[in-house]
């Protein structure tokens, strides 16, 4: 999908999106073929894992999110203390959320261990989904063939799904979009999460590549880096002049199920919920103007997440 076609699709994506909402609730969409009806705002828990964050803050954030109807919670072993803290905060509330973690290793043996550790830390006997985390990283996954082979991490996820300790299998990608395709072709992937915002589309273009393939396959589509966050950097689109537009762009991505945002305080939760409740699709004129703005910003940012190919 070229960018002109993508812009047209964004401008008209809500016409057949299947969004269902009721007064006082967040809009919901289908999470692909999982059968789960997900609120269009989800939690990215990486900020909650930082050492300076306390358990009481995590408890408050989780409580408010659930009260607001947010039901997609994303975490990972690499997010410092996030899994342990979420596990404590979700006591008595586990059934209210679609809980997702990740594996970050090539071998089946190591991936199995990571799943077991995530279950222990999150204090749950199952995970709703587990992603293969950032498949574009050649240091983490030197060989896609090994990753998807009989002794690779994907086989561990298949085995865990048969066992019932995980329910769905996904992948995430931050860079090198083409590396996702062989994994999608296995037919095991049920949801994908990729970096998507109105700037990065001009560098990585997940919207016109991996997301397009996911739409063809009927997979759940999850947007991350909605505010442009990157490792070691702040949310680059969090300033008032960008925030609402960034949210509107993400929620208008064709086929999108949920946009996750890192939220580390009740104030940030309230800000995100308000932006999502106020969501209106971008007009064709706004899409065109935003494309020009994003393209200029992309030249300034460069490939901040790593190589494109």
Question: Structural domains in the chain?
Answer: 3-298 (3.20.20.100)
- In this prediction, residue 229 carries a pLDDT of 84
pLDDT at residue 17 above 50? no
pLDDT at residue 177 above 80? yes
pLDDT at residue 50 above 50? yes
CB burial class (10 A; 0-12, 13-18, 19+) of residue 35?
A: exposed
Give the span between the Cα atoms of 158 and 142, in whole angstroms. 21
The secondary structure element, H or E, covering residue 158 is: helix 153-163
- In this prediction, residue 15 carries a pLDDT of 32
pLDDT at residue 1 above 80? no
What pTM value is reported for the model? Answer: 0.91
- In this prediction, residue 10 carries a pLDDT of 46
- In this prediction, residue 230 carries a pLDDT of 59
Query: Which residues lie across from 41 on neighbouring strands?
Result: 259
Higher pLDDT among residues 16 and 226, named by residue: 226
Instruction: Kindly state the percentage of the chain with pLDDT values over 70.
Output: 91
Confidence of residue 234 (pLDDT cuts 50, 70, 90): low
Higher pLDDT among residues 2 and 248, named by residue: 248
What is the distance between the terminal CA atoms of the chain, rounded to a whole angstrom? 17
């Amino acid at each position: 999908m070229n960018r002109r076609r993508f812009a047209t699709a964004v401008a008209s994506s809500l016409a057949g999106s299947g969004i269902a909402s009721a007064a006082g609730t967040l809009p919901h969409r289908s999470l692909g073929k999982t059968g789960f009806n997900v609120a269009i705002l989800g939690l990215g828990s990486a900020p909650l894992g930082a050492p300076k964050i306390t358990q009481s803050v995590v408890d408050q954030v989780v409580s408010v999110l659930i009260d607001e109807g947010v039901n997609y919670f994303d975490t990972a072993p690499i997010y410092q203390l996030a899994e342990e803290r979420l596990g404590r905060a979700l006591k008595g509330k586990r059934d209210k959320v679609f809980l997702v973690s990740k594996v970050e290793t090539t071998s089946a043996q190591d991936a199995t261990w990571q799943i077991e550790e995530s279950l222990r830390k999150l204090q749950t006997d199952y995970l709703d989904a587990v992603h293969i985390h950032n498949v574009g990283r050649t240091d983490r996954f030197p060989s896609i063939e090994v990753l998807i082979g009989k002794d690779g991490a994907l086989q561990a996820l298949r085995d865990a799904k048969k066992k019932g300790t995980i329910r769905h299998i996904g992948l995430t990608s931050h860079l090198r979009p083409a590396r996702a395709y062989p994994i999608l072709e296995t037919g095991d992937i049920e949801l994908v999460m990729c970096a998507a915002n109105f700037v990065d589309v001009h560098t990585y273009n997940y919207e016109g590549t991996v997301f397009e393939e996911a739409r063809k396959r009927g997979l759940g589509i999850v947007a991350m880096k909605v505010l442009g966050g990157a490792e070691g950097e702040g949310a680059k689109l969090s300033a008032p002049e960008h925030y609402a537009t960034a949210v509107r762009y993400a929620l208008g991505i064709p086929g999108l199920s949920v946009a996750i945002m890192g939220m580390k305080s009740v104030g940030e939760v309230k800000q995100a919920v308000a932006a999502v409740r106020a969501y209106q699709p971008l007009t064709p004129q706004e899409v065109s103007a935003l494309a020009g703005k994003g393209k200029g910003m992309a030249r300034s940012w460069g490939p901040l997440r790593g190589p494109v190919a």
